[in-house]
Amino acid sequence: MILLDRVTKTYNKNLGPALDRISLHVEPKEFVIVVGQSGAGKSTLLKLLTREERQSGGKIIIGGIDYDKLPDKDIPLLRRKIGVVFQDFKLLPNKTVFENVAFALEIVGVSHKEILHTVPKVLDIVNLTGKEKRMPYELSGGERQRVAIARAIVRQPKILIADEPTGNLDPKHAWDVIRVLEKINRYGTTVLLTTHNVEIVNKLKRRVVTIQNGRIVGDRANASYKI
């Protein structure tokens, strides 16, 4: 599903590479947690996957798409196949919960009728039924993040990338979000989660990839947090 082969990313030649020959293979339906300190390269890794940044060297193949052969005009098509959740939610502040989720479908030209059919189902998955008409500022952080997750999965992507989705949340809300991610994973979506939260990593007992100074220094199944 995700294949990285000796991927390097250098922002500034004087500072050395942010990612240094990273190789990673993620199977379909896997739940992988990427851990590492701030500046270790986690965010850079995710930005390469969503093609916000372009790798300086190595190969990235996701769902059969070779990033080297992907023309710029097809980047939107790639992003439609990957769901992304951000630490700062990135909801549209002047749209309601329903509109924010529907927006992801409007972009790809889904009919109004289908939107009315699909969005409530997805809001149900993230336990937000009844809050369709709220504006983002009326929601708690955990609720906002679940709206963002609903938006990310409404197009039924094969891969969901969650970049520190619990970073701004208190433990209770963080767990709400993690439970939703697990549920989505059970439905068959590959989940790639980055986090700082030791407790979450230890309780989830999933595959953990540790990044340090731009290199993978640990990759173990059913692991706990150790730096």
Partner 1 sequence: MRIIHTGIVNFIRNASLAIAAMAVMIVTLTIVLFSLIANATFSNTIKQITDKIDVSVYLKDTVSAKQANQLVGQLRTLQNAEKVTYLNKEQVLANYRKQNAGNEQLLQAVNETSNPLPATIHIKPRDLNKINDIKVYLEKPNIKAMESDPPSYSGNLKEAIDNITHATNILREIGIIAVVIFGIVSALIIFNTIQMAIFNRRDEIQIMRLLGASTSYIRGPFIVESMIYGLLSAIISVLIINGVFVAASSTLQATTLGLLDIGYATTYFDSHFWLFLTLQILVGIVIGAASSFIATRRYLRFKTK
Instruction: Decide if residue 125 touches partner 1 (CB under 8 A).
Output: no
Instruction: Decide if residue 151 touches partner 1 (CB under 8 A).
Output: yes
Per the document, the length of the chain is 227
Binding map of partner 1 across residues 37-56, x = CB under 8 A, - = no contact: -------------xxxxx--
- CA–CA distance, 18 with 9 (Å, rounded to integer): 6
Of 32 and 48, which CB lies nearer to partner 1 in the complex structure? 48
Total binding residues for partner 1 by CB under 8 A? 25
Instruction: Decide if residue 116 touches partner 1 (CB under 8 A).
Output: no
Part of the chain binding partner 1 (CB under 8 A), chosen from 18-26, 80-88, 116-124, 188-196:
80-88
Q: Find the binder of partner 1 among 108, 116, 198, 217 (CB under 8 A).
A: 108
Of 62 and 216, which CB lies nearer to partner 1 in the complex structure? 62
Part of the chain binding partner 1 (CB under 8 A), chosen from 70-78, 117-125, 135-143, 188-196:
70-78
Say if strands 159-163 and 190-195 run parallel, antiparallel, or are unpaired: parallel
Minimum gap (Å) between residue 150 Cβ and partner 1: 13
Of 64 and 72, which CB lies nearer to partner 1 in the complex structure? 72
* 3-state SS record for the chain: CEEEEEEEECCCHHHCCCEEEEEEEECCCCEEEEECCCCCCHHHHHHHHCCCCCCCEEEEEECCEEHHHCCHHHHHHHHHHEEEECCCCCCCCCCCHHHHHHHHHHHCCCCHHHHHHHHHHHHHHCCCCCCCCCCHHHCCHHHHHHHHHHHHHCCCCCEEEEECCCCCCCHHHHHHHHHHHHHHHHCCCEEEEEECCHHHHHHHCCEEEEEECCEEEEEECCCCCCC
Instruction: Decide if residue 69 touches partner 1 (CB under 8 A).
Output: no
Contact 128, 143 (CB under 8 A): yes
Of 5 and 52, which CB lies nearer to partner 1 in the complex structure? 52
Binding map of partner 1 across residues 183-212, x = CB under 8 A, - = no contact: ------------------------------
Would you tell me which residues interact with partner 1 (CB under 8 A)? 50-54, 72-73, 75-80, 84, 86, 90-92, 94, 103-104, 106-108, 151
